[in-house]
Structure 1
Amino acid sequence: MRVIIVGCGRVGSTLAVQLAAEGHDVHVVDRRPKAARLLPDTSRIHFHVGNGYSRTVLEAAGVDHADAFVAVTSGDNSNIVSARTARETYRVPNVLARIYDPRRADIYRELGIPTIASVRWTVHRIHQMLLHRHLSPEISFGSGETLLYRSELPAYLAGRRLTEFDVDGEIRVVEVTRGGHSLIPAHSTTARPDDLVTFAVATTALGRLRGFLDKELGT
């Protein structure tokens, strides 16, 4: 996969190194030549000096053949212009952008560009770790409205059908890891001791899920 990353700060450089280690073709764009010092000397990472919305720079980075584009500079305006250019001008199929002002998320959403809001994400994660410490977050969807969480089931629930734990529109059991093997539960699948269960849960229902699990966990 060819990925273009605009912004070679800590986030951009770390992402570039990880993607390169996984075998991807990474092109990093930054207007500061010295930013290249954050990158290792590898044939899988290519550094380009310039603005992420410059067509000359983007075309030199191979934007016409890019599979993904990530804008993670320190400026919201630069990120949105770069992301729009990649999406609207070059039709890059997967475009992501970082924002510092969460109020701008709606602008990106209207453009069909998924965003990562640093402040909101950090606060959300701290809140989850404080109040939902028995739940291990796996992934979030949209702007964080729906989440996947994993947790060991309390022992007293063994023998009950997993579908009994569903709450319409709020909580649903979508996977069970049992004895090291994963399965999609059928309507008749019953819980067993030591089951590790994956819940799809609405953010607004996290307290309800936590209360349900903590009843047995004793917190």
Structure 2
Amino acid sequence: MNVLVIGCGRLGRRLAELLDHHGHDVAIVDSDTDAFRMLEDDFNGMTVTGFPMDTHVLKNAGIESCDAVAVCTPDDNLNITISQIAKEFFGVQNVVARISDPAREKVFKRFGLKTVCHTKLAGDAMFAALTQPWDSKEVTFGTATAGFYTKEADRAWYGLSLDRFPMKEGQILFGVVHADGTMVLNTGRKDQLIMENDRLVFAKIID
């Protein structure tokens, strides 16, 4: 895939390096030449210096032949503007933008733009680390992130089948980890019972 990354800060560098390591063709744009010095020595992508809202700079970075654009500057307003330019002016359909303020997500979605809100991701991760007895896990599919967390089974749940477990809105019972460390997935079978010392594994969309 041919990907253009806008912004060579910590996030932009990390993303560009990951894409490069996985064999994608990468170009990264930043207005500060010194930012590129922080890229790994074995980075094989192209670096382009210039203001990322300048269409000539974007053309020099190869946006006209891009499959995807990732906008990673720390400025939400700049990110939405560049995202619109990439999608509306250059016709790139796969555009993902970093956003810091969760309240602005609706603005991006109104323009049909995909976003990753690192503030929400970090907040959810810290909440889980503070309140959950086991470390939570997160898996990202596209721009959506699913969070997995566990809870020790209450005594009142012993003998209850997984298909009858009372669920809270927005979460599902993914499976059960038994005392011996084995795990079974919730397949809805009536013979899947919660036992003493089980840990329930829940999943929910967090972004």
* 8 Å CA contact 1:151, 1:197 repeated in 2: yes
Superimposed CA distance per residue, residues 8-54 of structure 1 (whole angstroms, 9 cap, x where no aligned partner): 01111122112211222211110111111011344631111112232
Distance 1:190 1:117 in 2: 37
Change (3 A) 1:55 1:176: farther
Change (3 A) 1:142 1:133: farther
Distance 1:196 1:56 in 2: 56
Superimposed CA distance per residue, residues 161-189 of structure 1 (whole angstroms, 9 cap, x where no aligned partner): 32223526433234678988885624346
| Equivalent pairs, count | 202
Superimposed CA distance per residue, residues 116-171 of structure 1 (whole angstroms, 9 cap, x where no aligned partner): 33444333322222122435132478998x84314376496676432223526433
Shift, 1:77, TM fit: 2.1
Distance 2:116 2:2 in 1: 21
Change (3 A) 1:72 1:136: same
Shift, 1:93, TM fit: 3.0
TM-score (norm 2): 0.76
The residue correspondences of 1:13-92 to structure 2 (distance < 5 A) are 13-42=13-42, 44-92=44-92
Show structure 2 runs of 5+ residues with no match.
Answer: none
Distance 1:94 1:4 in 2: 11
Q: How many percent of aligned residue pairs carry the same amino acid?
A: 30
- The aligned counterpart of 2:102 is 102
* 8 Å CA contact 1:23, 1:44 repeated in 2: no
Given the alignment of the two structures, is residue 148 of structure 1 paired with residue 150 of structure 2, yes or no? no
Change (3 A) 1:114 1:161: same
Match of 1:190 among 192, 204, 207: 192
Shift, 1:100, TM fit: 2.9
TM-score (norm 1): 0.72
The residue correspondences of 1:111-122 to structure 2 (distance < 5 A) are 111-122=111-122
Change (3 A) 1:119 1:191: same
Change (3 A) 1:36 1:181: same
* 8 Å CA contact 2:150, 2:199 repeated in 1: yes
The residue correspondences of 1:175-186 to structure 2 (distance < 5 A) are 185-186=187-188
Q: Which moved more, 1:152-161 or 1:80-89?
A: 152-161
Show structure 1 runs of 5+ residues with no match.
Answer: 204-219
